[in-house]
Chain A
């Protein structure tokens, strides 16, 4: 039986797709067969971040409509043979997704995969609701700013009331906080909310802090999930997150300002 993870936030542009790609790759590299699904129908991006945009033939909506089989639509990653991508359709909109269709696909994937990562679109409409509906775990990606925190809070309310688990009165979805684009220097200057501030408002288990890093943008543009860049802080942060999620006890990093000397800085992005 697979574990279904939704990567969600409410607000757009906080790093959901970057996180989905990194987490999925991380789990796959740990040897777990992992599928990552792009729920952002109409605004397909995950294929770009994972560098497989040239190999998309069929998509999520094709499979829902029975125009292609799941195996035809799944794209196997070239770097890690445990990772498969189910891209979104770019020519349709979110109304093409149905609860039954999504449920059927997830059920079929559950038979052979260990983890299914659902990359949620922004907002709290159909696409986002379907991405989280079947989830077992939720990674709530939040930036250290008030609007993002409030939207995450709203999303948490929806997770706890409108998911399949909530409707069936099962154990609730396990919710984890991922604080991305964190910059300790700006926190110190009072320009950015601190980890404590965000946790105080959201009272949520912190899975990891991802530092603001230039490496993320270049990783996105080159189609390489940031987790494969083990030199970068952000890549290491995602690796920590995957290991913490899998039950390893790792101390949090990147919360305080880097105290490395010039030499260290030169060799870290």
Chain B
């Protein structure tokens, strides 16, 4: 006979560990001159003070390997500017040691690969969809649409605010995320996550469904759970009372 885990309160869990993905601004350094960084940082913050206030920030040291960087001073300068550094990545062994002494977590530089991909991938679309500056917060929201006409390759990650339209295929191992709808006019073989900020009215459309995972506002379905009848066909994926539905179109 198994014992009921809820029988005694000391058995009931007080917490649980979960992994969660969050988007954090990253400071890619190109110079090790604290004065210059400090000055330019203040200039940047002036453009959107609300956005940067108490914002977490990851410091990427990949670009300043060759240079002598005073990390404690840099951290001070960033804190003085009202931003909270939450860790470093891509530093040298020495820089990592300094970060440890400063109690700053050291992130693996691995994630840099994907974020670098993301950055360069969205670079070409930046003109069409500039990141919203929070000073515009009170003005009517502008819908930002992103169109990509290049295949999204394995290992690439795309994140857009608003709608994402891809007029090429999405490879297995690629991940596309949008706060709005996702349209793929090609074969969808990777992961597609729409309404990632919780918009339950978001939809995913694709002209050939072979996805590894589809998700709307956190409600997901993995490849194994996708019915044969909708596989390899054009579909619409939408949410109906927390239930993820896939229908042929």
Contacts and interface: CB of A to CB of B under 8 A. Distances in A.
A160 B152 CA distance: 10
Contacts of B156: 157, 161
In which size bucket is the chain A interface? 10 to 19
A169 B152 CA distance: 18
B116 A162 contact: yes
Interface stretch (B77-85, B164-172, B193-201): B164-172
Contact of B150 (A154, A160, A201): A160
Interface stretch (B20-28, B99-107, B117-125): B117-125
B interface majority secondary structure = loop
Contacts of B150: 160
B176 to A, nearest CB: 13
B153 interface: yes
A162 B173 CA distance: 18
B155 A157 contact: yes
B207 to A, nearest CB: 14
B120 A167 contact: yes
B151 A203 contact: yes
Contacts of A201: 171-172, 189
Interface in A138-186: 150, 153-154, 156-158, 160-162, 166-167, 169
In which size bucket is the chain B interface? 20 to 34
A interface majority secondary structure = helix
B133 interface: no
Contact of B117 (A150, A162, A169): A162
Contacts of A161: 116-117, 120-121, 156
A153 B117 contact: no
A150 B173 contact: yes
Nearest to B187: A200
Interface of B: 113, 116-117, 120-121, 123-124, 150-156, 168-169, 171-174, 187, 189
Interface of A: 124, 150, 153-154, 156-158, 160-162, 166-167, 169, 200-201, 203
